[in-house]
């Protein structure tokens, strides 16, 4: 039975471009029709396009990815998924930027090669997750430092409508609902509710 190559390219956001991954997959020999491109975070495997692709993979097929972090970023989840594909489904995985270390093809009788591949996988998964956590910590520290300097994040607050105090009083007396008050003010119900909590002067 001939092996079939499946290529998987992933970007966390639509602002990122998967072209480099796609080119690498094609150069390796993956047909364009068998390349799946998904714009989704790699924090877990709750990815519809990826899961649909994996369901098509049969024993002897090969999953090709440009780099290990395209598969995922959670260490334990990536290791479990690796085992699911190579052991449970009987398919192979090729990581292009880690050839020949992360290439499970024709290694079923090579104990040493499998042992080395398992070690490399564990180390790389650890590094990927460590970097992800460090980036999160750096981002949080940067935001905290910016807030201390007075930097305001997000959209500026919407100015309170001049007619808000009157409608607020009517709402407090039960004369008007939140929806009707918001509609008359030309804002959403959530905005009206936020304004209710503001110490607004008439």
Please tell me which residue in 12, 67, 177, 188 is annotated as part of the active site. 12
Query: Residue 166 and residue 158: Cα distance in Å, rounded?
Result: 18
The verdict on whether 12 is a catalytic residue reads yes
Quick one: residue 73, left, alpha or beta (phi over 0 = left, psi -120 to 50 = alpha)?
Answer: alpha
Contact, 22 vs 52, CB < 8 A? no
Rounded Cα gap, residues 177 and 128, in angstroms:
51
- Cα 127 from Cα 131, distance rounded (Å): 6
- Rounded to whole angstroms, the Cα distance separating 32 from 25 reads 9
**Catalytic residue ranges:** 12
């Amino acid at each position: 039975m001939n092996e079939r190559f499946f290529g998987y390219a992933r970007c966390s956001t639509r602002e990122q471009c998967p072209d480099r991954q796609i080119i690498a997959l094609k150069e390796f020999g993956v047909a364009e029709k068998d390349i799946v491109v998904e714009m989704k975070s790699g924090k877990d495997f709750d990815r519809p396009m990826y899961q649909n692709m994996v369901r098509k993979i049969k024993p002897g097929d090969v999953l090709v990815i440009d780099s290990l972090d395209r598969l995922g970023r959670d260490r334990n989840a990536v290791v479990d998924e690796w085992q699911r594909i190579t052991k449970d489904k009987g398919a192979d995985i090729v990581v292009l930027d880690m050839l020949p270390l992360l290439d499970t093809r024709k290694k079923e009788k090579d104990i040493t090669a499998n042992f080395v591949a398992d070690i490399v996988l564990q180390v790389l998964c650890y590094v990927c997750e460590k970097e992800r956590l460090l980036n999160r910590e750096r981002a949080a520290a940067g935001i905290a430092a910016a807030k201390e300097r007075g930097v305001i994040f997000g959209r500026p607050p919407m100015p309170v409508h001049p007619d808000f105090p009157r409608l607020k009083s009517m709402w407090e007396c039960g004369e008007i609902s939140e929806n009707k008050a918001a509609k008359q003010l030309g804002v959403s119900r959530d905005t009206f509710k936020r304004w209710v909590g503001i110490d607004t002067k008439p």
